[in-house]
Amino acid sequence: MATAIVLRTYGGPEVLTSEPVDVGRPGPGELRVRQTAIGVNFHDCYVRSGLYRTLAVPGIPGIEAAGVIEEIGPGVSGFATGDRIAYVTGQYGAYASERLMPAAWALRLPAGVGEATAATVLLKGLTTEMLTREVHPIKAGDIVLVHAAAGGVGRLLCRRVRQLGATVIGTVGNEAKAEVARAAGCAHTILYRQEDFIARVKEITGGRGVDVVYDSVGRDTFDGSLESLALRGHLVNFGQASGSVPPFEVSRLAARSTSVSRPILFHYVAERAALEKLAAPVFEAVRSGLFPVEPGRSFPLADAAAAHRALEARQAEGPLFLMP
Ligand X SMILES: NC(=O)c1ccc[n+]([C@@H]2O[C@H](COP(=O)([O-])OP(=O)(O)OC[C@H]3O[C@@H](n4cnc5c(N)ncnc54)[C@H](OP(=O)(O)O)[C@@H]3O)[C@@H](O)[C@H]2O)c1
* Cβ 300 to ligand X shortest distance, Å: 21
* Cβ 46 to ligand X shortest distance, Å: 7
Residue 242 near ligand X by CB under 6 A:
yes
* Cβ 138 to ligand X shortest distance, Å: 17
The full DSSP string for 227-257 is HTEEEEEEEEE---TT-PPPP--GGGGGGTT
**Type of residue numbered 125:** G
Report the 10 Å Cβ neighbour count for 67: 30
- Under 8 Å CB-to-CB from 124, ≥6 apart: which residues? 152, 153, 156, 319
* Cβ 41 to ligand X shortest distance, Å: 5
* Cβ 103 to ligand X shortest distance, Å: 23
Of 68-76, 121-129, 158-166, 207-215, the window that binds ligand X (rule: CB under 6 A) is 121-129
Among 38, 42, 99, 118, which residue sits at the site for ligand X (rule: CB under 6 A)?
42
Helix axis angle for 272-288 and 152-163, nearest 10°, is: 80
Specify the residue, 2 or 40, whose C-beta has the smaller distance to ligand X.
40
CB 55, CB 7: distance < 8 Å: yes
Q: Which of residues 133-152 bind ligand X (CB under 6 A)?
A: 148, 150-152
Calpha distance 134→161 (Å, rounded): 13
Residue 236 near ligand X by CB under 6 A:
no
Among 176, 183, 264, 270, which residue sits at the site for ligand X (rule: CB under 6 A)?
264
Of 1-9, 30-38, 122-130, 288-296, the window that binds ligand X (rule: CB under 6 A) is 122-130
Calpha distance 67→35 (Å, rounded): 4
Of 5-13, 17-25, 61-69, 262-270, the window that binds ligand X (rule: CB under 6 A) is 262-270
Residue 43 near ligand X by CB under 6 A:
yes
Q: In the chain, how many H helices and how many E strands?
A: 9, 15
Contact flags string 271-300 toward ligand X, x per CB under 6 A: ------------------------------
Residue 314 near ligand X by CB under 6 A:
yes
* Cβ 150 to ligand X shortest distance, Å: 5
Of 51-59, 169-177, 244-252, 284-292, the window that binds ligand X (rule: CB under 6 A) is 169-177
Q: How far apart are the first and last CA of the chain?
A: 13
Calpha distance 278→276 (Å, rounded): 5
Give exposure, 37-61, as e/b (b: 16+ Cβ within 10 Å).
bbbbbbbbbebbeeeeeebeeebbb
* Cβ 260 to ligand X shortest distance, Å: 14
Instruction: To the nearest 10°, report the CA torsion of 245, 247, 250, 253.
Output: -30
Specify the residue, 229 or 265, whose C-beta has the smaller distance to ligand X.
265
Calpha distance 315→197 (Å, rounded): 25
Residue 41 near ligand X by CB under 6 A:
yes
Residue 189 near ligand X by CB under 6 A:
no
CB 61, CB 47: distance < 8 Å: yes
**Type of residue numbered 41:** N
* Cβ 2 to ligand X shortest distance, Å: 27
Longest CA–CA separation in the chain, Å: 63
Of 58-66, 222-230, 257-265, 278-286, the window that binds ligand X (rule: CB under 6 A) is 257-265
Report the interface residues with ligand X, using CB under 6 A.
41-43, 123-124, 127, 148, 150-154, 172-173, 177, 216-217, 220, 238-242, 263-265, 314
